[in-house]
Amino acid sequence: MSLSLQEVKQVAWLARIEITEVEAEAAQGQLNGIFKLIEQMLSVDTEGVEPMAHGQDLVQRLRDDRVTETDQHALYQSVAPQVEDGLYLVPKVIE
């Protein structure tokens, strides 16, 4: 399995990372090298094996549906690039 240059650019698009033509070519070589490593596992027989997401197969712990957090938006927004009136400012999204 190896990526074409177009596929590299498509993945970069999905990941919202800008990539130049030169960078895409360099990335293509490195990514295909990594895919060679990954490919080693593809031919292994995993028929009937359940995927494992957690060491002890635990399920998500739930809690009561009660309000427990306090409003700290002033503190949390103190590190934001641009805020106004409690809102994060970003470039206008044009419909």
CB 16 to other proteins: min, Å:
4
> Per rule CB under 8 A, is residue 79 in the interface with other proteins?
yes
- Smallest gap from Cβ 65 to other proteins, in A, equals 14
Query: Minimum distance between the CB of residue 78 and other proteins, rounded to whole angstroms?
Result: 6
C-alpha 74/C-alpha 77 separation (Å) is 5
Report the C-alpha gap between 43 and 63 in whole angstroms: 42
Site for other proteins in 41-60 (CB under 8 A): 41-42, 44, 46, 49-56, 58, 60
Residue 22 found at the interface with other proteins (CB under 8 A): no
Token code pair at residue 22:
């030169």
Match 């009561």 to its residue by tokens: 64
Cα angle 36, 21, 15 (rounded to 5 degrees) comes to 65
- Residue 25 or residue 30: which is nearer to other proteins going by CB? 30
